[in-house]
Every structure is written in C-alpha cells, then in structure tokens.
Amino acid sequence: MAKHRLIAVLAMLTLVSGGLVGAAPQAAATGLCGSPHNYFGGYTGYVTLPASWNETPEGVSSYIVTRDGPVCANLAYDKTFSTSWIMLQSTGGQHKYAQAGFIFDGTCNRYYTEYNNGWGYGGFVRNVAFSTCVAYGSQHTYRVQYIGPVGPYPPPGGSLKMFTDGLTVNSGIDPWASGWSMIPTYSGETSDLANDIPGAAWAWVDVPAMGIQSVDTGTFRPTPCYLGHAAPGGPRYYAGSVACDHTYQWTDPF
C-alpha cells in the first residue's frame, strides 16, 4: 500500500481525555472515488530516537477495536478499501514493511497481513482471511514479530511473522539481513478522499496496549513515549492518544 507515502507531521504524543463531548453522527462516504492516494491517521516515526536497545523495535503489537470505514460505491475491492493496522517499517521511500490488521473488502472487515521488502509500489504481498468477518466493536490482537536470535545485529536466518486472531503469515523477510531501520507504526488508512478510515468521533478505532518487541531481549514491552503523529493531508482523518501506548483513530463527517 505504498506506506512510504505516509508523510509524518511530528508532534509529541499528548495525553488527552478519553471522553467524547458533542459527538455528531458520522456521514457515510457516499462520494465517488476519484482521488486515489493513500491517506492515513495514526502514529509513526520518532520524535526522539530510541534511548537504548530495549527501546529499539524489531516487532510491534497491539489490540485494535474493529470499526467500519465506509467506502465509495463506484469501485470494488481491491481498488478501494479502508483499513486499520500495526506495522514495522523501514525508513520512508524503501518500500519495506510488514503489517497486520483488518481491511474492508466491500462485504465486511477481514483479518489481513501485508509485507514488502523493497519490491516497489506494486510488489507487496497481501493475505486476506476471506472466510471470516471481524465483528464490529470486537477487540483483537495483532502482532508483527521477529522470529530469530536475540540481540542486536543477529546472524542471518530470522524472519518477520505476522499474527492476527484469525490469520498467521510468515513473510520470510529477515529485516536485519535486509538492512531495515525499524520504525513502529499504528494507523488507519484508506485509498481515496471519498472514503473514511475506520472509526467515527463517537466510536473510535481504539488501539490500546501498543507494544514493541525489544531488540535486547526479543520480548514485547509497552511502546515508549517517542512516536510522531501522522496526519498527512487528509482533511477528515484524525488520531489522538490516551497514553504513549494507547492511541485511537477516526474520520470526521463531511
């Protein structure tokens, strides 16, 4: 999904109230697709660099609460979609990432994974669990995990494996051998300005218990307070934070 196009507007994660005041009903995205791009609302990148190997990620994890993101009617999946995911990525422009989340395929939200190792815009590999709909409002576990030797600069042979509650995929990518500079990302995404990212002002896509897999031990720990806020250009797509390891995403109505 060309995650390299995600342009981070950096701001320190700010603790905010989880309460909602004066929420209005969300208008479904009834426009026609015509502005293809990738639009995001979430958290990515570093405002401050990891202080040590125990803050350096080689994997990511979180719960995600399932919400809907209406999409335009003049295109079908996979030309139009709405999704929320967690991702381990390399620096922008390299097309290197592995992610796990849910995606709307025109019928319902499905578990899915996707990965790319520098193979270009269309070089990604996506797997979707078409046999299962992910229920609205349900909370599920998502994880991108490095499977390999513990510690920094391990010998070749490890790989990134992606887990959901209904789909597990091994990418076969060794991020260390491939020279990744690893960045955790937790975001909503959609494919057109006529679409919504999942979530509404009164029903966020809640992303609690965000974690990173620490390089020093290979275990997961809460995401440190070092992420940037990504809000690149989409006029209705937003993200906020309850804590450094607890964020949320939503679309405002037109």
Domains of the chain, with CATH numbers? 3-15+38-251 (2.60.120)
Cα–Cα dist 4/111, whole Å: 22
Cα–Cα dist 238/149, whole Å: 38
Q: Which pLDDT belongs to residue 121?
A: 82
What does the pLDDT look like over 19-70, one tens digit per residue?
A: 333 333 444 556 899 988 889 999 998 999 999 999 999 999 999 999 999 9
Q: Which pLDDT belongs to residue 37?
A: 86
Residues facing residue 168 across a β-bridge: 163
The residue type at 33: C
What does the pLDDT look like over 131-171, one tens digit per residue?
A: 999 999 999 999 999 999 999 999 999 999 999 999 999 99
pLDDT value at 191 more than 90: yes
Long-range contacts of 172-176 (CB under 8 A, 24+ apart): 173/98, 173/115, 173/117, 174/148, 175/58, 175/88, 175/90, 175/96, 175/98, 175/146, 176/58, 176/148
**What does pLDDT average to over the chain?**
87
| Least confident among 85-94, 195-204, 220-229 | 85-94
Q: Which pLDDT belongs to residue 133?
A: 98
Q: Which pLDDT belongs to residue 159?
A: 98
What does the pLDDT look like over 82-96, one tens digit per residue?
A: 999 999 999 876 899
